[in-house]
C-alpha cells in the first residue's frame, strides 16, 4: 500500500535555507525517518525561495510591450514584464490568459511567475528555479549525506492542461529515478505487445503528493512510501514533448 506522509512544521523559507537538511530534521521531529525506497516530493515555491528566485515588482520597469500586453490581460504591467523575462516564446494570449514556453522548455501559464504563497505583501513574485533538476539533485545528495538513504527527489509545480479543466501538479525537477516508466515492447494481460505506452511516473507522483500538500496548509514537502520508482536516472525535461510532435503547438 502506498503511503503519502506530509512533512509538517517546515518554516517560512528564506534565501540560503538548506531544504534537504530541513526535510530530514522535520521528518525526524515527527518521529519518523527515511526508509529504503522512499521518494521525496517538494513544491517549487520553497525551492525558489531557498535559491533566491524571488523578485520585487517595485524594482521592475515594464517595457512598452509588457504595458501593451497588460492592457489585454488585465495583469500588472510589472508582473507581465517579469513573465516576459522568463519566457522563451509566447504560445497563446487570450481572454486574460498568457501561456508561454519557459526558458526550460515548460509550457505553462505566466512562465511559472507566481504571487501565491510567496510573501505577505503582494509585491513579491517567485520565478522557477534556474535548473530544477539540479535543485532536486542537491536536495537528494543532502538527504543521502545526512541519512545514508538513497532517496529520489521530485520538484513539482502546478500547471493547467490544454484538454482538461483544472490544474494538477507536474514534475519540473527529478533526481535519482527515471521520470517515465516505458512499457513499450512489453505485453499486456492478454499478451498483446504494447507499442506506445509510456507512463509519466514523476507527474503521477507529483499529483499524488499534492493531495497531502494542499495550497494553504504549509506542507511544502511529502514522503511517498512503498512505491517502486523506475530505477535509473533521468531529468524532468525528458517529459517535455518535442515541438515537432506536439499537436497543441
Q: 70-80: per-residue pLDDT in tens?
A: 988 888 999 99
Q: Is the pLDDT of residue 214 over 80?
A: no
Tell me the HSE value of 147 on the side-chain side, using a 13 A CA sphere. 23
Q: How far apart are CA 52 and CA 45, in angstroms?
A: 11
The DSSP bridge pattern shows strands 153-161 and 39-43 to be parallel
Question: How deeply is 167 buried, as exposed, middle or buried, from its count of CB atoms within 10 A (0-12, 13-18, 19+)?
Answer: middle
Q: Where in the chain is the domain with CATH 3.30.1330.100?
A: 3-52+129-240
CATH of domain 3-52+129-240: 3.30.1330.100
Q: How far apart are CA 48 and CA 9, in angstroms?
A: 18
Say if CB 177 and CB 39 are below 8 A apart.
yes
Q: Is the pLDDT of residue 196 over 60?
A: no
This prediction has a pTM of 0.92
Q: How far apart are CA 171 and CA 152, in angstroms?
A: 13
Distance of CA 153 to the CA centre of its chain: 11
CATH class of 55-125: alpha beta
What is the predicted pLDDT for the residue at 235?
Answer: 93
Q: How far apart are CA 177 and CA 154, in angstroms?
A: 9
Average pLDDT of span 94-98: 82
What is the predicted pLDDT for the residue at 216?
Answer: 64
Query: What percent of the chain shows pLDDT beyond 90?
Result: 71
What is the predicted pLDDT for the residue at 187?
Answer: 67
Q: Is the pLDDT of residue 195 over 80?
A: no
Q: Where in the chain is the domain with CATH 3.90.1660.10?
A: 55-125
Amino acid at each position: 500500500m502506498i503511503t503519502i506522509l506530509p512533512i509538517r512544521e517546515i518554516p517560512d523559507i528564506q534565501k540560503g535555507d538548506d531544504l534537504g537538511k530541513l526535510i530530514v530534521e522535520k521528518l525526524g521531529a515527527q518521529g519518523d525517518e527515511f526508509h529504503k525506497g522512499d521518494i521525496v516530493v517538494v513544491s517549487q515555491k520553497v525551492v525558489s525561495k531557498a535559491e533566491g528566485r524571488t523578485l520585487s515588482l517595485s524594482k521592475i520597469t515594464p517595457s512598452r510591450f509588457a504595458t501593451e500586453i497588460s492592457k489585454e490581460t488585465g495583469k500588472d504591467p510589472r508582473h507581465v514584464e517579469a513573465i516576459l523575462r522568463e519566457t522563451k516564446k509566447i504560445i497563446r494570449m487570450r481572454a486574460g490568459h498568457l501561456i508561454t514556453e519557459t526558458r526550460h522548455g515548460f509550457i505553462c501559464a505566466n512562465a511559472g511567475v507566481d504571487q501565491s504563497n510567496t510573501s505577505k505583501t503582494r509585491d513579491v513574485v517567485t520565478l522557477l528555479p534556474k535548473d530544477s533538476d539540479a535543485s532536486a539533485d542537491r536536495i537528494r545528495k543532502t538527504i543521502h549525506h545526512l541519512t545514508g538513504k538513497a532517496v529520489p527527489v521530485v520538484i513539482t509545480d502546478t500547471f493547467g492542461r490544454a484538454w482538461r479543466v483544472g490544474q494538477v501538479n507536474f514534475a519540473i525537477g527529478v533526481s535519482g529515478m527515471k521520470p517515465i516508466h516505458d512499457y513499450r515492447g512489453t505485453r499486456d494481460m492478454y499478451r498483446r505487445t504494447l507499442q506506445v505506452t509510456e507512463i509519466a511516473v514523476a507527474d503521477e507522483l507529483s499529483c499524488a503528493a499534492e493531495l497531502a500538500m494542499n495550497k494553504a496548509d504549509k506542507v511544502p514537502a511529502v514522503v511517498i512510501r512503498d512505491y517502486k520508482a523506475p530505477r535509473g536516472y533521468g531529468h524532468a525535461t525528458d517529459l517535455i514533448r518535442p515541438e515537432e510532435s506536439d499537436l497543441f503547438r
